[in-house]
Amino acid sequence: MRIGFVLNPIAGMGGRVGLKGTDGKVAEARARGAEARAPERARRALAALAERAPDADLLAWGDPMGAAEVAAAGFDPEVLGSPGSAETGVEDTRAAVAAFREAGVDLVVFVGGDGTAADVAETLAGSDTPMLGVPAGVKVYSSVFAVSPEDAAYVAATFERTERREVMDIDEDDYREGEVHPELRAVAHVPVAEQLQSGKQIGGGSVESLAEGVADDVRARPETTWVLGPGSTVGEVKERLGFAGSPIGVDVYRDGEVVGLDAAEAAILEALGDDNVVVVTPIGGQGFVFGRGNPQLSPAVIRECEIEIVASRDKLDDLRVLRVDTDDPELDEELRGWVKVRVGRFERRMMKIV
């Protein structure tokens, strides 16, 4: 099998520092102390691919767009070109994918978010060459991504047929203002596999009783630091507590006061006390409680907190399982298993994190 592998090295950098994305915000993300997320995700996917398909023929693009990561995994990549400068951009991704297509690869594997997915899909338009995403962006709305880097390796090594799937993207400036309007950017050929995430859907159900029950718990534990994640369900909790939180950010609340609004990872860690609870809801229609839309809730934050998952009954009815993708495989494994999800003021439902 011939696989073209390309890495968007800046994908996801804005997440933990509270920028909700990296489009046009790379310099600001770095100024806030952001660290590259995508290269490590690439290394995880390639290490797993080397175990499953050590004889695969890897084609790559020059550093920092994947060649070093491919070689480090034990492959001997054919490097077809290099980015025009150290600051990579859309044109570099498109150039790499065009070269892979011309070389007749069997699959293009990319590491990035929805913007990268759109660039790859649009470059492959008109061909039958399939694509597969290793999720590394802050927002991952498209259904062309594997659930995790390791799942991407499994799919790449084992798929036998493809199907057409949607590539969605949203305007990050609108997203930062709390407005989410997914736009169909392309339809791409993607391997058929259970390890792919579904497309996100915007929706939910009545959560008033649920939100009031959580708010009652918050008021009953004034010494506890409450880390309230993004999403409309948790947003209802914030309203019951009497403040307008960040609809797509993370807010921190303790003893009747907001101690962190739209907080980045560092601010959340600084605000934590001896007793902490993080309240999260599955994002969209995919079932992720960590790893999509809330990278501020880093492994360091999660390990300091009790976890409360909340969701409407309607949302859970559409989900078979819940998922996590925290960038820490050991933590992901610790989180997996059966959990109680709060669906009402007092009611809870058992769901499995896989």
> Which CA distances in Å does 9 have to 85, 135, 251?
13, 12, 28
Would you tell me the crossing angle of helices 149-158 and 38-52 to the nearest 10 degrees?
40
Residue 245 lies in a domain: yes
Question: Given the structure tokens 């309203």, which residue do they identify?
Answer: 239
| pLDDT at residue 9, rounded to an integer | 93
Domain identity same for 49 and 129: yes
| pLDDT at residue 129, rounded to an integer | 98
Q: What distance in Å separates the CA atoms of residue 1 and residue 52, rounded to the nearest whole number? A: 12
Q: What distance in Å separates the CA atoms of residue 108 and residue 122, rounded to the nearest whole number? A: 13
| Lowest-confidence pick of 120-124, 142-146, 154-158, 314-318 | 314-318
How many CA atoms lie less than 13 Å away from 258 in the CB half-sphere?
15
Q: What distance in Å separates the CA atoms of residue 234 and residue 239, rounded to the nearest whole number? A: 9
Q: How far is CA 13 from the centre of its chain?
A: 12
Domain identity same for 70 and 182: yes
Domain identity same for 140 and 262: no
Residue 203 lies in a domain: no
Domain identity same for 217 and 342: yes
Q: How far is CA 172 from the centre of its chain?
A: 15
**pLDDT above 60 (res 17):** no
Task: Beginning with the edge strand found earlier in the chain, give each strand of the sheet holding 337-342 in spatial order.
Answer: 257-260, 251-254, 225-228, 276-280, 306-310, 337-342, 348-353
User: Cβ distance 52 to 1 under 8 Å?
Assistant: no
Domain identity same for 186 and 213: no
Looking at this protein, which amino acid is placed at residue 320?
R
Question: Given the structure tokens 């605000």, which residue do they identify?
Answer: 271
Query: Model confidence over 288-305: pLDDT tens digits?
Result: 999 988 999 999 999 999
Give Rg (Cα) of the chain: 20
Q: How far is CA 31 from the centre of its chain?
A: 22
**Looking at the chain, which runs of residues are DSSP E strands?**
2-7, 57-60, 78-79, 107-112, 131-135, 162-169, 183-191, 225-228, 251-254, 257-260, 276-280, 288-290, 306-310, 323-324, 337-342, 348-353
Q: What distance in Å separates the CA atoms of residue 161 and residue 138, rounded to the nearest whole number? A: 29
Domain identity same for 183 and 81: yes
Cut 0.85: pTM above it: no
Q: What range defines the domain where residue 301 resides?
A: 208-353
Query: Model confidence over 241-260: pLDDT tens digits?
Result: 999 898 889 999 999 999 99
Residue 197 lies in a domain: no
Query: Model confidence over 154-190: pLDDT tens digits?
Result: 999 999 999 999 888 766 555 545 555 567 888 899 9
Domain identity same for 146 and 261: no
Q: How far is CA 74 from the centre of its chain?
A: 27
Domain identity same for 269 and 315: yes
Domain identity same for 235 and 134: no
Query: Model confidence over 42-84: pLDDT tens digits?
Result: 999 999 999 999 999 999 999 999 999 999 999 999 999 999 8
Helices (H) and strands (E) in the chain, counts: 13, 16
**Pick from 166, 191, 216: which residue ends a domain?**
191
The total number of structural domains that make up the chain? 2
